[in-house]
Chains A and B, each alone.
Chain A
Amino acid sequence: MREVVIISGKGGTGKTSLAASFAYLEEANALVSDCDVDAANMHLLLDADFSSKEDFFSGELAVIDEDICINCGRCDEVCRFDAIDVIDDQHRVNFISCEGCWYCSRVCPTEAIEMVKQKAGDLFVSNIKNGSKMVHAKLGFAAENSGKLVAKVKQEAKILVLKEDKAYVITDGSPGIGCPVISSLSGANLVLLVTEATVSGLHDLKRVHKLVKTFNYEAVCIINKYDLNEDVSQEIEKFLQEEDIKLVAKLPYDDTFTKALAVAQPIVEHNSDGQLSLLIKESWESIKTIIKENDR
């Protein structure tokens, strides 16, 4: 089993569209894990059926037992998040403000405050239209993505891929450069950086690559919409050369991206003989070749 993690730093570069296309091309050989749980939408492109569901718990919330509470106000004094309100002469926890830090629970003289684990979202395993499966998650409102949730998605994917003996895991990574991204990178055999020819595309590529380098992952790159700004595109290529990152492909701006999204299809399904689809197919073949060469 080999895992390709696709990340971009910046949003809107085409990361998920490409990940879905690679998964579609590889059919039943590839398991998909969607670690972009903040804005999980790959399930739309791959027609996920949400066949199995599990609650995901993350963080805690203080809950005051009003029968035991003597309304002394110690909790209100110590709360750094201003999460204790007095309503009708009763101290109550504002569940939106509470960060679950335990301070109030520790100081409460009558032990009236219990810390309750919070459901942060759902974890799913779905059958998808390429004949394979995907592991994905949906966060609840105001729930925070975390390394913990991503690690859980990846762990489920790993168990499945070994059980079903698939050749690849294609992981749609988390955005940004924080804890969830670090978690989505873990165990990657190859990292694909998807960028676009804009100033922010290059800027975020540099940031996310710095992270990738810290962990010594091998990275390759696709420059999407390279013809938006060919000067920036050249700058990106220069950066890739300096950092010894292989350029897999330069994709032109093409509204097939948007048209395919509009009908919730991967590009290679929507317009399978189009120029863009051919370039995407070549890209996936190059990526597989790079992985095979590394194995030797």
Chain B
Amino acid sequence: MKIIFTAKGENWDSPMDARFGRMEMLVIYDEESDKLEVVSNDGIEDMEHGAGLQTAKKVIELKPDVIITGNGAGQKALDLLKRTAVKMYIGAGDMTLKEAYDAYKHGQLKTQF
């Protein structure tokens, strides 16, 4: 399983970012290799509009199985993500990455779609 977290930092103790489109960075966890990888979302703060679609594109290109985030994606990004096989889990906005992963593993997170 390849899992993307919307994050504000680079490791398991970092806080999650509740936002999807304007998330600070993407942290990718590959369960098979047990490795964390960080993809920056720099430049998103310079976008006046359309941050959601831009980030969704970046996420889709990384081909994750699961996305874990806080409030979920907005309508436009959602329309795009729904066309892929990815599963979106929400409600982890106030957690650390580790807590978010545990909550996901224990089935405590809701899905957005």
Contact = CB atoms under 8 A, between A and B. Distances in A.
B51 A214 contact: no
Which interface class (under 10, 10 to 19, 20 to 34, 35 or more) fits B? Answer: 20 to 34
A179 B19 CA distance: 13
A183 B22 contact: yes
Interface string B67-107: 00011101100100000000000110100000000000000
Given A147-B51, A148-B46, A215 B71 contact: yes
Interface centre among A147, A148, A149, A216 (most CB of B within 10 A): A147
A151 B45 contact: yes
Interface centre among B49, B72, B78 (most CB of A within 10 A): B49
B42 interface: no
Contacts of B18: 186-187
Interface centre among B51, B52, B91 (most CB of A within 10 A): B51
Which interface class (under 10, 10 to 19, 20 to 34, 35 or more) fits A? Answer: 20 to 34
Interface in B30-65: 45-52
A214 B74 contact: yes
Given A187-B93, A216-B91, A216-B112, A144 B48 contact: yes
A146 interface: yes
B interface SS class: loop
Nearest to A186: B19
A58 B71 contact: no
A197 to B, nearest CB: 29
Nearest to B51: A147
A217 B71 contact: yes
A182 B47 CA distance: 14
Contacts of B75: 214
Interface string A167-182: 0000000000001001
A278 to B, nearest CB: 33
Nearest to B74: A182
A214 B78 CA distance: 9
Contacts of A217: 71
B45 A148 contact: yes
Nearest to A295: B94
Contacts of A186: 18-19, 22, 71
Contacts of B51: 147-148
Given A148-B46, A179-B48, A214-B72, 8 more contacts: A147-B21, A147-B22, A148-B47, A151-B22, A179-B49, A183-B22, A186-B22, A216-B71
Interface of A: 58-59, 144, 146-149, 151-152, 155, 179, 182-183, 185-187, 214-217
21 contacts: A59-B48, A144-B48, A146-B49, A147-B21, A147-B22, A147-B49, A148-B47, A148-B49, A148-B51, A149-B48, A151-B22, A151-B45, A182-B52, A186-B19, A186-B22, A187-B70, A215-B72, A216-B72, A216-B110, A216-B112, A217-B71
